Amino acid sequence: MLMQALRCLGLKGTKMATAQCNTIRLKLFKIGAQVKISVRKVWVSLASGYPYMNLFHQVYRNLQAATLRC
């Protein structure tokens, strides 16, 4: 259900809107990142060689703009 929600909300308007769960997992979730944690903030630095960085940012913007219904 989580992948279906990501596909509907986050991938809306992208080429991967109809992608299979395994493809979404490989291209969006399995990325190299460095996480730095301080008392008040968490920084996530993506790898500079990540080929789907633009797609990742577009999905992030789509999820920020989505309204949550509980």
pLDDT one-digit tens code per residue, 15-67: 888 889 899 888 888 888 889 999 999 998 888 888 888 898 899 899 899 88
pLDDT value for 33: 84
Q: What is the pTM of this model?
A: 0.71
pLDDT value for 40: 95
Q: Dmax over Cα atoms in the chain, in whole Å?
A: 39
pLDDT band for position 70 (cuts 50, 70, 90): low
Do 56 and 28 contact (CB within 8 A), yes or no?
A: yes
Polymer length in residues for the chain: 70
